[in-house]
């Protein structure tokens, strides 16, 4: 596959550039870690004294948070498209993208990747192992494979939603606050959905399926069999949302107006 | 010969929304929005053959960039048919863009933060150019454009002229048979302009590269293009040889006399009464300009009569410049065909 070799060329270039600005990279990793620590402290404080919330223990909550970090970090590394409208539509950078023989979305992924965010994968794994150990969870030989599948599914859910939002830019380049709002909504996916009311639960499952990034897949590892159907739907939902988003993107590209210089 | 570009009835409309004023207006905007349609390119047709260098000219806002963006697959036409290199640009975009090179003078195609050669390397990968072809071809390009010393500098540290030469080289990495240049010489000094023109001529001769370029500098066109397509308010108002444009429009010549003694209009008119001459006063009291038909007998007749009667210090025969011709055409809004 040509795209894979292009991908590695970009990664090589990225690392080269980053290594010349080593200080920046360290600051970035550090601020990422700090951000994750704050989130973890938040969970500990909120759920610290309740021990049990809608049938979920504190350690299970921490485990879900740890799992969530993995697909989220992968998403954050490769789909930095929250400023797509500004950067590519309003400033007309899309012109340049469209004169090159590689799918436009793929090019933007390559140009905007932030590999430092992948550090969150490590944090996530550490948090999961810590919580899993406390919960006495056992790991079978096939679990790592299922984990990878569920993580990919979760990352695709995130990617799908944010790509779909970015495509709005092709139709209207007016400024909206929808992106930051969606980041906030995304955070709800890392708490068990049964602590919310029915409507929110429905939305987080089928409309903005952020629950497939945290709770649902985690419930497989937590041996919560009542959620298994949802857990295994994760890759399917991820794929469906991602494909819908890419289709929207492809239609959007034909509506691109350019910046009139 | 085959047509590289074939455009029939091409049209592009931009819808722009306007908002009503006041709270009531904003509320109404929620349901129906006012918009105006701007036709940037209005039903144009032309063909370009392999190896041609065509100048695409027109005033600001005439629709040049919009046409180029449709030809390169960036914008989807509102209407009309485009076949470039045998393909429909926006339908088969990814396959199509491998066969063209694009340079926008107003906008960089290179990555801002990385060294020029790293940009080239990424592009080489993107266009999937084999090592050997790259080495051979780019060595020549780098040499001709004289950008060897710039290769390890990041793009943001280059001057405009340096960057522009790198942009050109980047557009040619895959040695495309067709090159689109939108104002490639904007803001450049004369030397860089000359270098770029020379380079374009060279690749046109060497590889038979077809070139379509827009510019506001008509000397670019004079140096490079035999054919011009002139656009005005989205419509083609002239498409033909530059030479013909000159011949049809530059009918007259101007003879500028600098006298050593005072001259009056009556006196000069009286001297040249047998010819059709329009006299105008020049920069000073001693300078007079005679506009005459571009015919030898008239020119020498006028000069003979005037110099026989009055002492002159200097004499110039002025050709009307292309610049002036184009300006006249814009003012009149259409082209007379001769
Ligand atoms: N994205 C856009 N949205 C709305 N109107 C646009 C857009 N792009 C161009 N236009 C309009 O279309 C017309 C043609 O613009 P275009 O950029 O093609 O002109 P041009 O001939 O390249 O001019 P210039 O010499 O200034 O570059 C202009 O009136 C411009 O305002
Ligand atoms: Mg333009």
Question: DSSP readout, B4-48?
Answer: EEEEEEEEEEEEEEEPPSHHHHHHHHHHS-EEEEEEEEEEEEEEE
- pLDDT score at B334: 53
Question: Which tokens sit at A194?
Answer: 């049964």
Task: Report the complex ipTM.
Answer: 0.85
Q: Which residue of B has its CA nearest to A3?
A: B126
> Given the CA of residue B16, which atom of ligand 1 is nearest to it?
4
Q: How far apart are the first and last CA of chain B?
A: 27
d(CA A83, CA A91): 11
Disruptive mutation site among A2, A17, A98, A105 for chain B (greatest number of B CBs within 10 Å): A98
Q: Kindly indicate the confidence band of residue B1, based on its pLDDT and cuts at 50, 70 and 90.
A: low
Q: Kindly indicate the confidence band of residue A179, based on its pLDDT and cuts at 50, 70 and 90.
A: confident
B96-106: average pLDDT: 94
Q: Report the mean per-residue pLDDT for chain B.
A: 88
- pLDDT score at B326: 74
Chain B residues touching residue A16 (CB < 8 angstroms): 118
pLDDT over threshold 70, residue B100: yes
- pLDDT score at B337: 47
- Residue A174 touches partner B, C-beta closer than 8 Å: no
d(CA B4, CA B50): 6
The answer to which of B219-228, B240-249, B278-287 has the lowest mean pLDDT is B240-249
The answer to which of A128-137, A156-165, B203-212, B273-282 has the lowest mean pLDDT is B273-282
- pLDDT score at B338: 39
Please identify which residue in the block is written with the tokens 């047509």. B3
Per-residue pLDDT tens for B246-292? 766 666 778 899 999 888 888 888 888 888 788 888 888 889 988 88
| DSSP bridge pairs for B100 | B178
Q: Kindly indicate the confidence band of residue A56, based on its pLDDT and cuts at 50, 70 and 90.
A: confident
Interchain CB distance below 8 Å, A99 and B73: yes
Question: Which tokens sit at B289?
Answer: 């300009």
Residue A99: which of B14, B65, B72 has the nearest Cβ? B72
d(CA B21, CA B53): 49
**Residue A89 CA to ligand 1 centre (angstroms):** 15
Q: How many interchain CB pairs under 8 A, A with B?
A: 65
Residue predicted with more confidence, B284 or B175:
B175
Tell me the H-state helices in B159-263. 160-171, 190-207, 218-224, 242-249
Q: What are residue A66's phi and psi, to 5 degrees?
A: -60, -45
B173-202: average pLDDT: 93
- pLDDT score at B253: 78
The answer to which of A20-29, A229-238, B36-45, B322-331 has the lowest mean pLDDT is B322-331
Entry pTM: 0.85
Cβ proximity of B245 and B238 under 8 Å: yes
- pLDDT score at B298: 84
- Residue B134 touches partner A, C-beta closer than 8 Å: no
Question: Which tokens sit at A189?
Answer: 């996916």
* Atom 4 of ligand 1, residue of closest alpha carbon: B14
Question: Which tokens sit at A144?
Answer: 């790592």
Per-residue pLDDT tens for A90-141? 888 999 999 999 999 999 999 999 998 898 899 899 999 999 999 999 889 9
- pLDDT score at B109: 86
Q: Which residue of B has its CA nearest to A102?
A: B94
Work out the minimum CA distance from A249 to partner chain B, whole angstroms: 14
Distances in Å between the alpha carbon of A132 and those of A33, A38, A220, B227, B236?
Answer: 21, 21, 12, 75, 72
Q: Kindly indicate the confidence band of residue A51, based on its pLDDT and cuts at 50, 70 and 90.
A: low
Cβ proximity of B171 and B204 under 8 Å: no
pLDDT over threshold 60, residue B140: yes
Q: Kindly indicate the confidence band of residue B77, based on its pLDDT and cuts at 50, 70 and 90.
A: very high
**Residue A55, phi-psi category: left (phi > 0), alpha (psi -120 to 50), beta (remainder):** left
Residue predicted with more confidence, B22 or A236:
A236
- Residue B37 touches partner A, C-beta closer than 8 Å: no
Closest C-alpha among B172, B6, B182 to residue B85: B6
pLDDT over threshold 50, residue A152: yes
* Atom 22 of ligand 1, residue of closest alpha carbon: B65
- pLDDT score at A173: 77
- pLDDT score at B93: 94
d(CA B66, CA B47): 17
B201 Cβ contact partners less than 8 Å away, ≥ 6 residues apart: B223, B224
- Residue A175 touches partner B, C-beta closer than 8 Å: no
Q: Spell out the domains of chain B, with CATH numbers in brackets.
A: 3-247 (3.40.50.300), 251-319 (3.30.70.1150)
DSSP code at position A213: T
- Residue B29 touches partner A, C-beta closer than 8 Å: no
Q: Kindly indicate the confidence band of residue A47, based on its pLDDT and cuts at 50, 70 and 90.
A: low
d(CA A49, CA B244): 90
- pLDDT score at B235: 93
| Angle between the N-to-C axes of helices B160-171 and B131-145, in degrees from 0 to 180, rounded to the nearest 10 | 150
B77 Cβ contact partners less than 8 Å away, ≥ 6 residues apart: B10, B11, B12, B41, B70, B90
- pLDDT score at B132: 95
Chain B residues touching residue A17 (CB < 8 angstroms): 113-114
Number of helices followed by number of strands (H, E) in chain A: 12, 2
Work out the minimum CA distance from A257 to partner chain B, whole angstroms: 6
| Angle between the N-to-C axes of helices B242-249 and B322-332, in degrees from 0 to 180, rounded to the nearest 10 | 70
**Bridge-based pairing state of the strands B34-49 and B3-18:** antiparallel
Distances in Å between the alpha carbon of B57 and those of A259, B26, B89, B222, B251?
Answer: 20, 41, 22, 12, 22
Chain A residues touching residue B41 (CB < 8 angstroms): none
Question: Which tokens sit at B250?
Answer: 């530059």
- pLDDT score at B29: 73
A200-221: average pLDDT: 92
- Residue A182 touches partner B, C-beta closer than 8 Å: no
Residue predicted with more confidence, B101 or A117:
B101
B32 Cβ contact partners less than 8 Å away, ≥ 6 residues apart: none
Q: Can you give the length of chain A in residues? A: 261
Q: Kindly indicate the confidence band of residue B11, based on its pLDDT and cuts at 50, 70 and 90.
A: very high
Task: For CA atoms B106, B110, B111, B116, give the dihedral sign.
Answer: negative
- pLDDT score at A261: 59
């Amino acid at each position: 596959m040509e795209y894979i070799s292009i991908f590695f060329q970009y990664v090589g270039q990225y690392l080269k550039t980053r290594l010349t600005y080593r200080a920046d990279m360290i600051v970035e990793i550090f601020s990422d870690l700090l951000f994750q620590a704050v989130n973890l402290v938040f969970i500990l404080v909120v759920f610290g004294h309740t021990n049990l919330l809608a049938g979920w223990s504190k350690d299970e909550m921490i485990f879900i948070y740890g799992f969530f970090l993995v697909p989220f970090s992968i998403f954050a590394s490769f789909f930095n498209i929250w400023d797509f409208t500004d950067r590519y539509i309003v400033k007309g950078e899309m012109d340049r993208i469209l004169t090159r023989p590689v799918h436009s979305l793929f090019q933007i992924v390559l140009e905007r990747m932030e590999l430092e965010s992948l550090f969150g994968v490590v944090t996530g794994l550490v948090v999961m192992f810590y919580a899993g150990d406390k919960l006495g969870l056992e790991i079978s030989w096939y679990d790592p494979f299922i984990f990878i599948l569920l993580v990919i599914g979760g990352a695709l859910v995130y990617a799908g939603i944010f790509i779909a939002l970015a495509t709005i830019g092709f139709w209207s380049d007016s400024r909206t606050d929808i992106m930051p709002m969606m980041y906030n909504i995304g955070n709800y996916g890392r708490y068990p959905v049964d602590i919310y009311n029915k409507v929110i639960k429905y939305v987080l499952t089928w409309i903005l399926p952020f629950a497939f990034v945290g709770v649902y897949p985690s419930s497989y590892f937590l041996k919560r069999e009542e959620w298994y159907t949802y857990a295994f739907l994760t890759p399917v939902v991820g794929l469906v949302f991602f494909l819908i988003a890419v289709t929207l993107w492809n239609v959007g590209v034909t509506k691109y107006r350019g910046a009139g210089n | 010969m085959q047509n590289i570009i074939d455009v029939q009835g091409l049209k592009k409309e931009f819808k722009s929304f306007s908002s009503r004023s006041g709270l009531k207006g904003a509320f109404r905007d929620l349901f129906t929005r006012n918009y105006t349609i701007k036709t940037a390119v209005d039903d144009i047709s032309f063909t370009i053959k392999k190896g041609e260098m065509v100048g695409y000219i027109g005033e600001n806002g005439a629709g040049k960039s919009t046409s180029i963006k449709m030809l390169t697959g960036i914008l989807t036409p509102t209407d009309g048919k485009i076949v470039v290199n045998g393909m429909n640009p926006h339908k088969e975009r990814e396959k199509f863009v491998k066969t063209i090179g694009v340079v926008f003078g107003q906008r960089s195609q290179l990555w801002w933060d990385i060294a020029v050669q790293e940009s080239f390397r990424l592009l080489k990968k993107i266009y999937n150019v084999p090592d050997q072809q790259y080495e051979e071809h780019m060595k020549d390009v780098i040499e001709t454009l004289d950008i060897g010393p710039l290769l390890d500098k990041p793009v943001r540290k280059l001057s405009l002229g340096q960057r522009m030469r790198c942009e050109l080289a980047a557009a040619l990495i895959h040695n495309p048979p067709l090159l689109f240049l939108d104002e490639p010489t904007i803001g450049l000094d004369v030397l860089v302009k000359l270098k770029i023109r020379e380079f374009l001529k060279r690749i046109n001769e060497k590889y038979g590269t077809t070139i379509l370029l827009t510019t506001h500098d008509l000397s670019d066109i004079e140096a490079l293009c035999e054919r011009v397509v002139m656009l005005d308010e989205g419509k083609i108002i002239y498409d033909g040889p530059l030479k013909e444009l000159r011949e049809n429009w530059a009918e007259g010549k101007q003879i500028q006399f600098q006298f050593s003694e005072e001259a009056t209009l009556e006196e000069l008119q009286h001297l040249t009464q047998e010819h059709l001459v329009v006299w105008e006063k020049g920069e000073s009291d001693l300078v007079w300009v005679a506009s005459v038909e571009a015919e030898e007998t008239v020119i020498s007749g006028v000069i003979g009569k005037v110099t026989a009667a009055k002492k002159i210090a200097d004499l110039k025969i002025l050709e009307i410049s292309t610049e002036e011709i184009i300006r006249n055409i814009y003012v009149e809004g259409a082209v007379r065909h001769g």
